[in-house]
Amino acid sequence: MAQQNTLHLRGGGTSVLVDRTTPGVPAIVHWGPDLGDLADDVLDDIARGVRPQRVSGGLDETGRLTLLPQEAFGWQGTPALLGSRLSGGTAGSDFSSALVMTALEATASALRLTAQDPATRLRLDLEVDVTPTGLVAVRATLTNEGDADYEVQDLGLTLPLPASAREVADTTGRHLRERHPQRHPLSVGRYVRESRRGRPGSDATLLLLAGEPGFGFERGLVHGVHLAWSGNHSLSVERSQNAPSALRAAELLAPGEVVLRPGASYSTPVAFGSWGRGLNELSSRFHEHLRRRPQHPSADRPVTLNTWEAVYFEQDLAHLTRLADLAARVGVERFVLDDGWFSSRRDDTAGLGDWTVSPEVWPDGLAPLVDHVTGLGMQFGLWVEPEMVNPDSDLARAHPDWILQARGVWPASARQQQVLDLSNEEAFDHILRALDALLGEYAISYLKWDHNRDLVEGGSTVTGRSAVHENTLAVYRLMDELKRRHPGLEIESCASGGSRVDLGVIEHTDRVWASDTNDPLERLTIQKYTGLLLPPELIGAHIGAPHAHTTGRHHTLPFRAGVALFGHLGVEWDLASASADELGDLTAWISLYREWRDDIATGALVHADLADDTMDLRGVVARDGSRALFVYAQTASAQSHPTGRLTFPGLDAAATYRVEPLAHPASATGVGQSPLGWRDGVVSTGAALHEIGLQAPVLLPETLAVITVTRVGEATP
């Protein structure tokens, strides 16, 4: 029987066609919508039909964009592998690989291939999986089969784009304003987004996207790539004159950071690719993939109160127990004590690294507060920053060599702190023992794990080389070991807010803190684009104080609470300063969240594409399509008056629904307008609600309305 030349991998509505006849290793010739059942001869003809011609001025055989593009086979774009020998003959030799596939195993949704190069004595093992939710997951492992060291400078993972991908979008930002979108045409050349901060960073993009011009949340074919890694990384998109455009993801390695001894291997982080007819569909693949994990949080996500903006460093048992009493009264289920509970930590200049309870602040230890909180039926959580150390600490004075550094001197300071070298086993064991002791002594069910500075000159005194790669792995290992020793422990990834949000860290944690700002106007955008990757139940979203501590803006409770609904809800507010009416309204908002949190944690998160940029409509549609909760926010003065229509995505087109604005908790509306025509409810179909919509309520700037959608009658078969 003739060997099948074209493989068809399928899953979750995605098809990946792989041409195994290309030089070196196979090439993906289609990644996108499912093509259905195709005969083998048809598959081969599809692949044959897209092979490039020889053209004037080019190579005699045009280089192909394979799963491992290599210069040896005519590829003249960015190669997959950069590296060379460090010794054994001429340093810098074996700089160009010619890895050729020697083995291939394939199933209906995955392939595993091995490629070898006898000349450079390298072996590559490549894995491609189409997940049940339609993501494409790619990972490579390079092994040194030679007798001299080999330095890996770069090993990238490549996914092709369709010809329609002519516009690029990503996100950027800063502390307190993370993940704001930007876009531009995909021109010839390479567009690169890199993080050299030792963590993704507040300016990092979660996804690099390329799609049809003007693609949005509901429209336009779009593809994107994410690297599941919490250290330095590079995402890029490249368009050339003689090959398909492609997305690329790689760990960003420092010189000498990965040197393979004979027989040693380096494995890349996993690159995840997703696609969709609009960003709602693209992001839903990530959400459903994460929800299928065995460790994904399955219990109701507890409403969380964090004490930071309530008390800052002024920790007082009487005030905190009063805060806990009020928290329990309004429906909070988890109480988290933030920074300032340990050692000499009275401000942010001292104490990091000394993880023992301060006898000055807590003369009887944390037990009085912990017992009070748990006695109220709430879980107790604690803030830690295990990867960091203040120079003014016992740890730094005793072990200055445990601090990441280069040239024998500490790097530039940030937030009056330095970074521990957790790849140093002595430092790792010290921190593990300290945290393990805390978790063993107190009923702590949750750690808010912070990481408050970028890495600069992240070298190890043990190896003398860059240690960002090894520290990233060490952090994962530390989190896993604490969870192993303390079953049920949950960890939040907080890094100056949202500076470490990725699918690498989320494998070891249970939610992320999207940003240190609780200003709802800022949070609308931050949460919207964090949600491209993570489902709501993994994104901490808190109701802040009326006066936003980070921006100085004032907002009503409905606006603050409504924005926080589509996340893992919490409170960041000194409730002792709230009025009785405010506490009553807060109780109602928390009750609303608790009524809907199962749907928020299992349903489809959707965003509407509206013509007016000042209008924001987002919602969660229950998995069975029986109901949906939408929040419509007016972010600024509308372009038209009255405002335009709201169109509702994600509903069952054939079903009939009743749509109502939620009467309570109250939503702020404008003045001088006649009553909303559908204020008492209206019945329409899912198709009509999406295609025609409803008149938007006229709202004041920076206010919102909550809208419920309930199916009428039987579900669609």
pLDDT in tens, 33-48: 999 999 999 999 999 9
Q: Is the pLDDT score of 667 beyond 50?
A: no
Catalytically annotated residue among 170, 450, 454, 510: 450
Cα distance between residue 453 and residue 446, in whole Å: 22
Same domain for 592 and 612 = no
Q: What is the pTM of this model?
A: 0.97
Residues in Cβ contact with 680 at an 8 Å cutoff, skipping those fewer than 6 apart:
660
Catalytically annotated residue among 170, 421, 516, 599: 516
Same domain for 126 and 247 = yes
The answer to the question of residue 36 being in a domain is no
The answer to the question of residue 52 being in a domain is no
Residue whose entry in the numeric block shows the structure tokens 């989190």: 479
Q: Are 659 and 700 in contact (CB under 8 A)?
A: no
Residue 642, preceding bond cis, omega within 30 degrees? yes
Cα distance between residue 122 and residue 244, in whole Å: 27
Q: Residue 503, Cβ neighbours under 10 Å: how many? A: 22
Half-sphere exposure in the Cβ direction for 546 (13 Å, CA): 9
CATH code of residue 624: 2.60.40.1180
Distance of CA 383 to the CA centre of its chain: 21
Same domain for 132 and 111 = yes
Q: Is the pLDDT score of 665 beyond 60?
A: no
The answer to the question of residue 252 being in a domain is yes
| pLDDT band, very low/low/confident/very high, at 663 (cuts 50, 70, 90) | confident
The answer to the question of residue 19 being in a domain is no
| pLDDT band, very low/low/confident/very high, at 595 (cuts 50, 70, 90) | very high
The amino acid occupying position 11 is: G
Cα distance between residue 255 and residue 369, in whole Å: 49
Q: Are 232 and 468 in contact (CB under 8 A)?
A: yes
Same domain for 191 and 124 = yes
The answer to the question of residue 149 being in a domain is yes
Number of domains forming the structure of the chain: 3
Name the domain boundary from 257, 291, 325.
Answer: 291
Residue whose entry in the numeric block shows the structure tokens 């959608």: 709
Residue whose entry in the numeric block shows the structure tokens 């000055």: 360
pLDDT in tens, 289-342: 999 999 999 889 999 999 999 999 999 999 999 999 999 999 999 999 999 999
Q: Lowest-confidence range among 553-557, 657-661, 710-714?
A: 710-714
By CB atoms closer than 10 A (0-12, 13-18, 19+), residue 487 is: exposed
Same domain for 587 and 645 = no
The answer to the question of residue 618 being in a domain is yes
How high is the pLDDT of residue 1?
A: 41
Element (H, E) at 559: helix 557-564
Same domain for 452 and 416 = yes
Same domain for 323 and 269 = no
The amino acid occupying position 63 is: G
What three-state secondary structure class fits 619?
A: strand
How high is the pLDDT of residue 84?
A: 97
Element (H, E) at 588: helix 580-602
Question: What is the per-residue DSSP string for 317-363?
Answer: HHHHHHHHHHHHHHT--EEEE-S--BTT-SSTTB-TT--SB-TTT-T
| pLDDT band, very low/low/confident/very high, at 87 (cuts 50, 70, 90) | confident
Same domain for 508 and 450 = yes
- Does the annotation mark 516 as catalytic? yes
User: What mean pLDDT is predicted for residues 562-576?
Assistant: 98
pLDDT in tens, 498-514: 999 999 999 999 999 99
Same domain for 351 and 409 = yes
Q: Are 395 and 429 in contact (CB under 8 A)?
A: no
How high is the pLDDT of residue 675?
A: 85
Domain boundaries, position 334: 304-596
Among residues 416, 412, 400, the alpha carbon closest in space to that of 344 is found at 416
Q: Lowest-confidence range among 505-509, 562-566, 661-665?
A: 661-665
Same domain for 321 and 225 = no
What three-state secondary structure class fits 481?
A: helix
pLDDT in tens, 435-449: 999 999 999 999 999
How high is the pLDDT of residue 4?
A: 87
User: What mean pLDDT is predicted for residues 142-154?
Assistant: 97
Name the domain boundary from 232, 258, 291.
Answer: 291
Q: How many Å is the Cα radius of gyration of the chain?
A: 27
By CB atoms closer than 10 A (0-12, 13-18, 19+), residue 593 is: buried
Same domain for 116 and 260 = yes
Counted residue by residue, the chain has a size of 717
Q: Is the pLDDT score of 668 beyond 50?
A: no
By CB atoms closer than 10 A (0-12, 13-18, 19+), residue 569 is: buried
> In which order are the strands placed within the sheet that holds 157-160?
157-160, 246-251, 233-239, 189-195
Which stretches of 169-210 are DSSP H helices?
none
Same domain for 628 and 565 = no
CATH code of residue 354: 3.20.20.70
Q: What is the mean pLDDT of the chain?
A: 96
Task: Output the six-digit token pair for 363.
Answer: 């003369």
The answer to the question of residue 333 being in a domain is yes
Cα distance between residue 483 and residue 481, in whole Å: 5
Q: Are 503 and 131 in contact (CB under 8 A)?
A: no
User: What mean pLDDT is predicted for residues 536-545?
Assistant: 98
Question: What is the per-residue DSSP string for 490-508?
Answer: EEEE-BTTBS--STTGGGT
Residues in Cβ contact with 203 at an 8 Å cutoff, skipping those fewer than 6 apart:
172, 173, 174, 178, 195
Half-sphere exposure in the Cβ direction for 668 (13 Å, CA): 16
Name the domain boundary from 572, 596, 620.
Answer: 596
Distance of CA 24 to the CA centre of its chain: 34
CA distances from 79 to 83, 248, 469 (A): 11, 10, 22
- Does the annotation mark 612 as catalytic? no
pLDDT in tens, 356-410: 999 999 999 999 999 999 999 999 999 999 999 999 999 999 999 999 999 999 9
CATH code of residue 114: 2.70.98.60
The answer to the question of residue 28 being in a domain is no
